[in-house]
């Protein structure tokens, strides 16, 4: 089979490597791909959000199956456009991708179907939003409605900060048109868990749980980033909590989407907070998370291609989705300065890897045959081991063998997970 994967980050690299384990895959293409993905797929370049060009690319490579991985093309309707030309896809259609594309949609869905989430109000009028944050409980969480590269959330400790957040989103368009509508919600506390799931719209199969590390600096300090590392499984997510999430969140969500005439087929990501009042949804994503995918897929023992085909064909029930009992840790090597300004173009030296190690490339380009840094998050160093402490140690041992100037990583990926593990023992 010829497979086209849309995207070009560490997540897509992990998806491509996993798909290639299925002997039915003969050719694999990435759009745009990256200098690092070029080792595993034919990279087509271009833009993941240019839908007509992507459909033409699918024709040129005679794609038998298309995997649309990033949020923007999904929210823009790339799956609909591909299907209209006869290309079967993994990923939700536009009317289902809205679960990530509009926070106001997601919050209203949860309210109407009784799915636990933070209390909230939605505003399209700035004066009303300002009046609301003048009286609401603090801290207030102010969110731009649309996609904002994971950065559209401001947690405001003071009234002044909340007013400023509303103004900068609605008037200053800090996150562009995403801020035309804002959601103000109450602040929740508790450990965060990411649960990615496969769903064909009827059946939902959660993957192994994981924990992201969003802040740039050790101790969860510094700015929010796309994610500086991840571990799986997440020790806070006990079997009892998983059962409660299935009953109160996962099944109700896919039933709600179906009832709304928006059946969700693809990977539905639940960003959860385990609050003192039980698990609540912080966010939905309509796609695999990054870096979570870089720890979840290495633990998948079944064929990713077979699962994706089953999702597409509505036969997920009866399809094997088996995860290893082992643990995985991914340490992101970033360019010093990320998520703000950083230098680029530094040559990367990659070591030989053992069977338990994976290097997923995100921000790197090929220049005269040499891999050089080209992005903020450069790559993910992932290791699998019998348990979490060993996976963390192995991931750092791998990260420390990778060389490029200006490399930066957090040194405490997995520490909070280890602390949670100790509490349970």
- For 17-28, b where at least 16 C-beta lie within 10 A, e where not — what string? bbbeebeebeeb
Told to check if 192 binds ligand AMP by CB under 6 A, we report: yes
Burial category of 61 from C-beta neighbours within 10 Å (exposed 0-12, middle 13-18, buried 19 and up) = middle
Q: Which span (104-112, 183-191, 324-332, 353-361) binds ligand AMP, by CB under 6 A?
A: 183-191
The option from ligand AMP, ligand GLY, none interacting with 290 (CB < 5 to 8 A, set by class) reads ligand GLY
Rank residues 57 and 380 by Cβ distance to ligand GLY and give the closer one.
380
Task: Name which of 55 and 212 has its Cβ closer to ligand GLY.
Answer: 212
d(CA 153, CA 373): 28
Compute the least distance from the CB of residue 128 to ligand GLY, in Å: 29
Both tokens of 65, joined, read 């199956």
Is 212 a residue that touches ligand GLY (CB under 6 A)? yes
Window of 185-193, 233-241, 296-304, 389-397 that interacts with ligand AMP by CB under 6 A: 185-193
Q: Is residue 234 within the footprint of ligand GLY (CB under 6 A)?
A: no
Cα within 13 Å of Cα(143), Cβ side = 26
Residues in a beta bridge with 6? 31, 68
Six token digits for residue 279: 């698990």
Map the footprint of ligand GLY across residues 270-329, applying CB under 6 A: 285, 289-290, 292
| Residues, the chain | 425
Q: Minimal distance in Å, beta carbon 411 to ligand GLY?
A: 20
- Cβ-based neighbours of 311, under 8 Å, separated by 6 or more: 90, 198, 199, 200, 265, 266
**Number of C-alpha atoms within 13 angstroms, CB side, residue 366?**
11
Q: Which two tokens stand for residue 303?
A: 């064929």
* Binds ligand AMP (CB under 6 A): choice among 113, 132, 187, 408: 187
Nearer to ligand AMP, 167 or 214 (CB): 214
x-marked contacts with ligand GLY along 373-402 as a string, rule CB under 6 A: ------------------------------
Nearest distance from C-beta of residue 122 to ligand AMP, angstroms:
14
Cβ-Cβ contacts under 8 Å for 335 (sequence gap 6 or more): 342, 343, 344, 346, 363, 373, 375, 376, 378, 406, 407, 408
Question: Which tokens is 181 given?
Answer: 């509508």
Among 20, 27, 214, 258, binds ligand AMP (CB under 6 A): 214
Residues that bind ligand GLY (CB under 6 A): 150, 212, 227, 285, 289-290, 292
Q: Which residues bind ligand AMP (CB under 6 A)?
A: 118, 141, 150, 153, 155, 185, 187-188, 192, 214, 271, 282-283
């Amino acid at each position: 089979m010829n497979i086209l994967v849309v995207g070009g980050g560490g997540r897509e690299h992990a998806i491509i490597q996993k798909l290639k384990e299925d002997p039915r895959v003969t050719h694999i293409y990435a759009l745009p791909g990256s200098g690092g993905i070029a080792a595993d797929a034919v990279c087509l370049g271009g833009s993941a959000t240019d839908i007509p060009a992507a459909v033409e690319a699918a024709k040129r490579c005679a794609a038998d199956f298309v995997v649309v991985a990033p949020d923007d093309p999904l929210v823009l309707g790339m799956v609909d456009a591909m299907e209209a030309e006869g290309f079967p896809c993994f990923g939700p259609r536009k009317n289902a991708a809205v679960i990530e594309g509009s926070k106001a949609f997601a919050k209203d869905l949860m309210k109407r179907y009784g799915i636990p989430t933070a209390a909230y109000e939605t505003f399209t009028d700035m004066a009303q939003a300002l009046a609301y944050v003048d009286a609401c409980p603090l801290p207030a969480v102010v969110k731009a409605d649309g996609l904002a590269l994971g950065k559209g959330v401001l947690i405001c400790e003071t009234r002044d900060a909340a007013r400023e957040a509303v103004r900068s989103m609605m008037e200053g368009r800090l996150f562009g048109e995403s801020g035309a509508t804002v959601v103000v919600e109450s602040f929740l506390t508790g450990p965060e868990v990411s649960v990615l799931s496969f769903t064909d719209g009827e059946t939902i199969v959660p993957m192994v749980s994981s924990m992201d590390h969003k802040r740039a600096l050790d101790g969860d300090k510094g700015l929010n980033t796309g994610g500086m590392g991840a571990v799986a499984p997440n020790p806070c997510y006990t079997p009892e909590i998983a059962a409660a999430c299935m009953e109160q969140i996962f099944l109700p969500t896919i039933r709600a989407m179906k009832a709304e005439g928006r059946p969700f087929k693809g990977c539905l990501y639940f960003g959860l907070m385990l609050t003192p009042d039980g698990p609540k949804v912080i966010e939905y994503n309509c796609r695999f998370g990054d870096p979570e995918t870089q720890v979840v897929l290495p633990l998948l023992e079944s064929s990713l291609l077979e699962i994706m085909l089953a999702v597409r064909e509505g036969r997920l029930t009866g399809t094997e989705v088996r995860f290893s009992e082992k643990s995985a840790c991914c340490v992101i090597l970033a360019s010093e300065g990320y998520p703000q300004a950083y230098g680029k173009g530094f040559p990367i030296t990659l070591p030989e890897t053992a069977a338990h190690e994976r290097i997923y490339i995100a921000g790197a380009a090929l220049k005269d045959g040499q891999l050089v840094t080209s992005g903020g998050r450069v790559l993910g160093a992932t290791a699998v081991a019998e348990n979490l402490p060993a996976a963390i140690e192995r991931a750092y041992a791998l990260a420390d063998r990778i060389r490029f100037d200006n490399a930066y990583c957090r040194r405490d990926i997995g520490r909070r997970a280890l602390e949670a593990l100790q509490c349970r023992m």
